[in-house]
Structure 1
Amino acid sequence: MIDEKAAAEAARKQDENYINNALVDVYDNIMRFEEQQIRGSRFRDINARELHIVHAIGLHDHKTTTQVADEFRMSKGTLTAHLNNLERKGYVIRQRNPADRRVINLGLTSKGRLLYRTHDAFHRRLVKSFLHGMDDDDRQLIKQALMNLEQFLDEAQKK
């Protein structure tokens, strides 16, 4: 009985170790692949952070600068510097909110929308390859595990 418990504990630790290493490797590989794809594309004038800001702005939401800064947990000053670059490069437009002129809404230019769609297609292919061969139960387990991880990260960042 004790040997079975010890074996089960060793197997659990081995699984956790594998998952830890896989998460780190997958994150690193996705970031490297995205940067490689940017450098080899017509969008080579932006970096990965700017790409993700464009993605956060989205196609139709017209988010405010505060919403995007909060999403990235960055100061509005830091976001402003990125937005200045993205606006200069022709990806982003800023518009005063007609209802409250103090509020700046963000939108994408046609170049920004093309970048958004290209990046979104990449992520859809990534997810499709990740879920390939999984049934609905597997997908729900993955979804729950990711929700657990998101909750942990949200709580840890609030501290």
Structure 2
Amino acid sequence: MDTYETLNEVLVKLFNDIMAIEEKAIIIDEFKDITNNDMHVIEAIGRDGSKSMSTVAKALSVTVGTLTIAINNLVKKGYVNRERSEKDRRVVLISLTEKGKRAFGHHRKFHEDMIEATIQGLDPEETEVLVHSLTNLKEFFRNYGK
């Protein structure tokens, strides 16, 4: 198998498996009431204080309306707090509850373990090449179809 075929096989298999594997790894009993997409909303909100709905929507590349649906569900399930800004009542701020922060930490740990497994056994130069290659791939996807 040549390099092209090997890379194609690895990337296709990786893309097909990654969401299913991540969901199995991060949606444990404590967080069984949310989806993988919910977990990514929680990740976009982050642990560090409140963010506006528009900021989180932009980070996720979704509309505020789409995010509102996800936030409504996460508020009902106890993962997210929602409040109006004191400075500008038109602005809705969202933050994680303690339960949301635990989910965030669990998700973060999965990603840390994934990165460790990826770079295990690589020397600094190999790691640099990997980062460069994956950055190129990210740019391809970001610009694809524009």
TM-score where L is the length of structure 1:
0.83
TM-score where L is the length of structure 2:
0.90
Question: In structure 2, what is the Cα distance between the partners aligned to 1:19 and 1:63?
Answer: 39
Matches within 5 A, 1:1-150: 14-150=2-138
Deviation at 1:61, TM superposition (A): 4.8
Work out which of the two has the higher radius of gyration on C-alpha atoms and give 1 or 2.
1
Question: Unaligned regions of 5+ residues in structure 2, if any?
Answer: none
Deviation at 1:41, TM superposition (A): 2.3
Question: Unaligned regions of 5+ residues in structure 1, if any?
Answer: 1-10
| Residue pair 1:64, 1:103 contacting (<8 A) in 2 also | yes
Cα deviation code 1:78-129 (max 9, x no counterpart): 1111110011000011122222221112100000000000010011001001
| Residue pair 1:38, 1:46 contacting (<8 A) in 2 also | no
Question: In structure 2, what is the Cα distance between the partners aligned to 1:103 and 1:55?
Answer: 20
Q: Does 1:155 align with 2:143?
A: yes
Which residue identity does 1:147 align to in structure 2? Answer: T
Count the aligned residue pairs.
146
Question: In structure 1, what is the Cα distance between the partners aligned to 2:107 and 2:101?
Answer: 10
Which residue identity does 2:82 align to in structure 1? Answer: R
